[in-house]
A and B are shown apart, each in its own frame.
Chain A
């Protein structure tokens, strides 16, 4: 059974930093791309970033480019999202999501339960 468990969310001031983690199990971790997708309160889904199975290819939404960095540790079956220069508009539930292939552009087939990030002074 695929399981994705996010952690690291919390309250942070504007301009601050936060690192999200996603511990995965139930599949061959290095064979699949992973993504972060966020959902602001009462709003729709917004793709944030994706990384290929090997970690060699990454993509970002324009809204976070230059501020967020996605990475993965295939020896620990863990995905990360380093978030810097946080803004109020980054407030959202952040989902870790598994791709259905190894390339970063793969479609998403499984989702975690999310971790809440609140950016406020």
Chain B
């Protein structure tokens, strides 16, 4: 059981906006930055969002995140077929003194 809770799956049609939630606690999401990663099939994870809605160069602004209290959400607008992947949230946990990941959400583009 992961410390951060994500829905196991999400789906949408091309052009739609989808959101993926990440639920945590006061020791992780509420007090530390949340990071989001995209993992395409058979590849290593790639950083999507870091430190409160910052995007690395090359990541389109279709990807954004928000945080409220002990929860965070990743939003993907203008959904495209190449967005089909697994998405993970992560944060440092002060109580565990370690980094924690969500269980991952498999996004399907219908």
B98–A60 touching, CB < 8 Å = yes
Total interface residues in chain A, CB < 8 Å: 22
Q: Is B35 an interface residue (CB 8 A)?
A: yes
> Which of B44, B96, B103 is within 8 Å of A111, CB to CB?
B44
Q: Is A9 an interface residue (CB 8 A)?
A: no
Compute how far the CA of A114 lies from the CA of B45 in the bound complex, rounded to whole angstroms. Answer: 10
Total interface residues in chain B, CB < 8 Å: 26
Stretch from B17-25, B46-54, B62-70, B75-83 at the A interface = B46-54
A61–B98 touching, CB < 8 Å = yes
Chain B contacts for A81, CB-based, 8 A: none
> Which of A50, A62, A113 is within 8 Å of B99, CB to CB?
A50
Q: Which residues of B (89-110) have their CB < 8 Å from a CB of A? A: 90, 92, 96-104
- For A35, the closest partner residue in chain B by CB is B99
- For B91, the closest partner residue in chain A by CB is A107
Chain B contacts for A105, CB-based, 8 A: 32, 92, 99
Prevailing SS type, chain B contact patch: strand
Interface string of A36-57 (1 = CB under 8 A from B): 0100000011110010000000
Do A111 and B98 contact each other (CB < 8 Å), given the known contacts A44-B103, A44-B104, A45-B88?
no
> Which of B33, B47, B51, B101 is within 8 Å of A45, CB to CB?
B101
Compute how far the CA of A100 lies from the CA of B56 in the bound complex, rounded to whole angstroms. Answer: 11
Q: Which residues of A (89-118) have their CB < 8 Å from a CB of B? A: 95, 100, 105, 107-114
Compute how far the CA of A35 lies from the CA of B35 in the bound complex, rounded to whole angstroms. Answer: 15
Q: B residues near A, CB below 8 A?
A: 2, 32-33, 35, 37, 39, 44-47, 50-51, 56, 86, 88, 90, 92, 96-104
The 6 closest A-B pairs by CB, nearest first: A47-B99, A44-B104, A111-B44, A105-B92, A45-B101, A107-B35
Please name 17 pairs of A and B residues whose Cβ atoms are closer than 8 Å in the assembled complex, sorted by A. A37-B99, A37-B101, A44-B2, A44-B104, A45-B39, A45-B90, A46-B101, A50-B99, A59-B97, A59-B98, A60-B98, A100-B51, A107-B92, A109-B47, A111-B44, A112-B44, A114-B44
Q: A residues near B, CB below 8 A?
A: 35, 37, 44-47, 50, 59-62, 95, 100, 105, 107-114
